[in-house]
Amino acid sequence: MNVHKIGFNTAISIVIANMIGTGVFTSLGFQVMGIQSGSALLALWIIGGVLALCGALTYGEIGAAYPENGGEFHYLSKLYHPALGFLSGWVSVTVGFAAPIAAASMALGKYVHSVYPTVNVVALAISVILIITAIHSINLKSGSAFQRVFTIVKVSVILLFVAFGITYHPNFDMSFNLNKESVNQIFSSSFATSLIYVTYAYSGWNAAAYLSGEIKNVNRTLPRALFFGTLLVMIIYTLINYVFLHSTPIETLKGQIEVGYLSANQIFGNDIGRYMSLAIAVLLISTISAMILAGPRVMQSMGAAIPSLKTLSLTNKNGVPYLAIILQSLIAILLVVFSSFESLINYIGFTLNLFTFLTVFGIFILRYKKREVERPFKTPLFPLPPILFLLIIGWILVNVMIEKTTESLFGLITVISGLGFYYLTLRLDKKKK
């Protein structure tokens, strides 16, 4: 059977599409609640980008050493213990992909609703999830083509938006100068808490790692796709947030989800702004698509490794894990119906960062305890990238536990419940033997 393999263009489009989505078009309204300095707000996105680049370089080495589908599930099982790998897979299934799919779908619905108030946000979000699920359940080739086209459209529209935004002359003053007040805000607890929104916006820099087993020339393609995809997104994020802050007063942005819509109205006027809002909604289709494509590969890997979950590894004649895709989308639909947007973002950000922290730390285990494993790609400037990543993520996690205790506890409960499910699967597998 001739199974389609993912090339560099699709791999980098998966990274870009996973990253550019809900967070950048929705989170600034929450960040300005605690930070008002223009330079400090841009520093959030620059630091978040550097953090993602450090993570991407580290994942590139780990992913090239263990080139199989599954991402953290596979890496943590090899580097630490199968139980920890299972927990990361459990979190990926319940939070890592299904929750961002739900959040992106809800944001899409809200953007369309802001233009057409009669549109039901929940119904539209569910419809989009179902349609894209159907596309990716058929075969990887058609899904890859769909992904590439929508990613190109997404980047083109954003660059057009940025070009018009930079040349716009607002009727208010917004300073981006770095001063003592800006520096104080950068080292504040509000800055650390706001970074959880930024790390959520950047989440997806590791997306291609989940499909390592389906990537052509993975030793070269995966690290390049992770690094260059993340670098491009970092540049785009910094520019687009500059445009949001340059065009729209902070008081207008505070607490608002549809920051792209508010900025478009300022730059283009209400009539054209409505169309830009719809364009942003279309851009989110690429994000939803990328996560629906990448996420089920974790379930597939879990099903292949754990006999009691083997149903999740079933594929159709084209090698697509269709049951895993369907299950993930059902979880996303349940979250759309029963969750609020802001709590979902904090919950996702805290829980995912726990496992990216452990995975990046795993490079030291790979280097010093797993020396027999071949490493076709080595992290440049090692050990600086992983150490910088671990320090900043650790700082974020501590502050989020203090500032967003409820969401953090729900994240920890999710992890602990996964541990119970892990031992249940062990017992079931022993009985079958």
Q: Tell me the mean pLDDT in the region 399-411.
A: 86
pLDDT score at 432: 65
CB of 379 within 8 A of CB of 223? no
How do residues 336-370 score in pLDDT, each as one tens digit?
Answer: 988 777 777 778 888 888 999 999 999 999 999 99
Distances (CA, A) of 25 to 125, 130, 168, 275: 16, 23, 19, 15
Is pLDDT above 70 for 140?
A: no
Which pLDDT band, with edges at 50, 70 and 90, does 380 fall under? very high
Is pLDDT above 90 for 387?
A: yes
Q: Closest Cα to residue 198, out of 19, 419, 335?
A: 19
Q: In order of start, what are the domains of the chain with their CATH numbers?
A: 8-426 (1.20.1740.10)
Distances (CA, A) of 308 to 159, 176, 295, 344, 424: 47, 56, 20, 30, 10
pLDDT score at 27: 85
* 46-55, 141-150, 262-271: the lowest-pLDDT one: 141-150
Whole-number percent of the chain with pLDDT over 70: 97
Q: Closest Cα to residue 329, out of 175, 83, 104, 174?
A: 104
pLDDT score at 433: 59
Range of 115-124, 213-222, 282-291 with top mean pLDDT: 115-124
Q: Tell me the mean pLDDT in the region 316-329.
A: 83
pLDDT score at 143: 64
**DSSP helix/strand/coil, 396:** helix
- What's the predicted TM-score (pTM) here? 0.80
Is pLDDT above 90 for 49?
A: yes
- Between 341-368 and 384-403, two packed helices, what is the crossing angle to 10 degrees? 150
How do residues 223-252 score in pLDDT, each as one tens digit?
Answer: 898 899 999 999 999 999 999 999 999 999
Q: Tell me the mean pLDDT in the region 48-76.
A: 88
**Tokens matching residue 62:** 């780990």
How do residues 17-46 score in pLDDT, each as one tens digit?
Answer: 778 877 788 889 989 988 989 999 999 999
For residue 71, is it left (φ>0), alpha (ψ between -120 and 50) or beta?
Answer: left
How do residues 264-322 score in pLDDT, each as one tens digit?
Answer: 889 988 888 788 778 888 888 877 887 887 778 777 878 888 887 888 788 877 777 88
pLDDT score at 107: 86
pLDDT score at 54: 95
Mean per-residue pLDDT over the chain, rounded? 85
The contacts of residue 8 (CB under 8 Å, 6+ apart) are 216, 221, 224, 225
What is the spatial distance between Cα 54 and Cα 377, in angstroms, rounded to a whole number?
14
Is pLDDT above 90 for 134?
A: no
Whole-number percent of the chain with pLDDT over 90: 31
Which pLDDT band, with edges at 50, 70 and 90, does 1 fall under? very low
pLDDT score at 3: 54
Q: Which residue has the higher pLDDT, 312 or 126?
A: 126
Q: Is 350 exposed, middle or buried (0-12, 13-18, 19+ CB in 10 A)?
A: buried
pLDDT score at 130: 94
What is the spatial distance between Cα 171 and Cα 69, in angstroms, rounded to a whole number?
51
pLDDT score at 50: 94
Please provide the size of the chain in residues.
433
Range of 151-165, 195-209, 372-386 with top mean pLDDT: 372-386
